[in-house]
Amino acid sequence: MAMSASEIEALIKTAFPDAKITIEDLAGDNDHFAATVVTEAFRGVSRVRQHQMVYAALQGRMGGTLHALALQTAAPE
């Protein structure tokens, strides 16, 4: 069972309401995505921790329903 880009965005937006989120379906299969997430919640947080925070927002779907997600994360400039 695959996820849509809108489902991924909704889960991330729930965890980070102020986030600017861009989701791209890399293979057109609803299984391999790239996401850019920019939120104030990442300010002063290491890149590894930022990614962990996004994975937590996906509520266990990473590696199951969602096979691959290439992440770019940042705090707003």
**In the chain, which stretches have pLDDT less than 50?**
none
* pLDDT given at position 1: 61
* pLDDT given at position 28: 83
* pLDDT given at position 39: 98
* pLDDT given at position 61: 85
**Using an 8 Å Cβ cutoff, are 66 and 33 in contact?**
yes
**Which H or E run includes 37?**
strand 32-38
Q: How many residues does the chain have?
A: 77
| Spans of all domains in the chain | 5-74
* CATH H superfamily, domain 5-74: BolA-like (3.30.300.90)
